[in-house]
Amino acid sequence: MKECQECKDYRKCVFGAGKAWFSYGEIRFCPYQVLFILEHSEILRDGNWPSNPDGSIYTDPNIRTGFRDEAYYCKPEEILGEVESRLKTTGSAGEALVDEVRQGLNIDQLSRPAYKALMYVKGWRRKRTNFAQWQASAGYYKSITIAQK
């Protein structure tokens, strides 16, 4: 089966699009994983990883294997903290994304501002430009593509 770390374009992803659960080791901050993180933010904030609906020894509450060199509750909080830190830079668009995820909307149902915030937040590394500059450059590149056609 294809894994998220092999994907180059989330729109062609057959692995993450229909997946309801991701393990900590699978997190690469693709859009589907960011939505998963936001959807389970309360569980992550408590220092726990969401339970696998298919069952898993990694999320059994009686088994605390932890992660190497850290307490078991650190990684869930770090993952959530990274997403929330990125979202803070998006202003009202990020707030819209959080609200729409809480309403249970999927990636195809997001409003334009929420979708833009998701696209800005996704990715293994943080963007080097701020949200406004990123939006402006995205519009610039789209206008060049349209003008070339």
**∠ CA 15-75-36, rounded to 5°:** 35
| Mean pLDDT split into 10-residue runs, the chain, 149 residues | 59 69 86 94 92 63 48 80 95 97 94 95 91 83 46
28: its two tokens? 């690469």
Separation of alpha carbons 28 and 4, rounded Å: 7
**Listed residue (132, 56, 54, 51) closest to 93, CA to CA:** 132
Q: 109 Cβ partners below 8 Å, 6+ apart?
A: 100
Q: State the residue for tokens 């803070």.
A: 88
Separation of alpha carbons 84 and 144, rounded Å: 32
Separation of alpha carbons 89 and 131, rounded Å: 6
The predicted pLDDT at position 146 comes to 46
The predicted pLDDT at position 137 comes to 87
pTM of the predicted structure, to 2 decimals: 0.78
